[in-house]
Amino acid sequence: MICNIRDYREHHFRGECISAIAEPAWHDNSRPDSDRAEIGPEALDYDRREGIPLADTIAGAKALPDHVTLYLYDAGSGTA
């Protein structure tokens, strides 16, 4: 389940080819204003995808076993 989306793209109207990272939402538990997420049984570290459509990014993040924060970047940036 996607809990949060952080969009760091400079080109917000380009969705055919982006880069993304899905990170467990429990990584944000230390932030005072965050929802609290439990560590899931499969304890995902993070999932990085490069050069994929935005729709596939969202579908893939929704299919992960943990609650995640999804970080979006322009293609070729932000995930290195």
pLDDT digits (tens, 9 = 90+) for 11-48: 999 999 999 999 888 777 778 887 777 776 666 678 89
In a domain, 80, yes or no: no
**pLDDT value for 47:** 85
Percent of the chain with pLDDT over 90: 51
In a domain, 57, yes or no: yes
The reported pTM is 0.85
**pLDDT value for 42:** 65
DSSP state for residue 73 in the 8-state scheme? E
**pLDDT value for 43:** 66
| Count of structural domains, the chain | 1
In a domain, 45, yes or no: yes
Give the domain extent around 33: 2-74
In a domain, 23, yes or no: yes
In a domain, 59, yes or no: yes
Q: What is the dihedral of CA 68, 70, 71, 75, to 10 degrees?
A: 130
